Amino acid sequence: MINTILWDFDGTLLNTNDVILESWQHTYEHYYGHRMPVEHITKCFGEPLLVTMAREFPDVPPKDSAEVYRDFQKDKAYVWAKTIPGVFELVEYLKGKGYKQCIVTSRTMESTLRYLSLFDKGHLFDGLVTCDDTDKHKPEPEPILLGLEKMKSKKEEALMVGDGVFDIKCANNAGVKSVLVGWRITDSDNSVIPDAVHDFETETPEDLKKLIETL
């Protein structure tokens, strides 16, 4: 029986798609003087930022390019970030039903807490795992395994909810069932991790609620 929900953050709990895309475009323009196709950016959604930075800007120290990205995003978050209809309502419903809920994200602790504070949603969650908490990140299993440890939950009691292949492969590697959400802008057939296999797919938060209650 599922009693623990592990949530990805960006694109799953909160619609940060626009601010993330524009932060990437700002960084490409800063270093290369041009923008990139949206599909080039979204295929790496969920990958740890420094990993992507090292690949995209190989001649720049990743921490430097990440600072360009993060400074821009921090300034624009209040304008472009927005809630996803029905998602936080589902989180609140599940909390009332006694489900344990933990965010498992590749974001930093500071930025995750800043977004939660912006929308006053931090109180809904029982735990938080960020890229600051583990040496290995999605798609490696460590973030989910730490989330399970924090929740004092077993693998068979948990469900990972995410919008991309990094979330799904992390769940695969951790031995946890996963669900791919239908409100994503990423491609479920992403070639970055072709062997990521989700157990379930739901189109809406209401569909996800029904699924959770059957597991």
Q: Which of 179, 208, 115, 158 is nearest to 1 (CA)?
A: 158
Beta bridge partners of 93: none
**Catalytic residue positions, numbered:** 8
Q: Residues, the chain, total?
A: 215
What whole-number distance in Å separates Cα of residue 138 and Cα of residue 175?
14
Instruction: Please state, as a whole number, how many other Cβ atoms lie within 10 Å of the Cβ of residue 58.
Output: 9
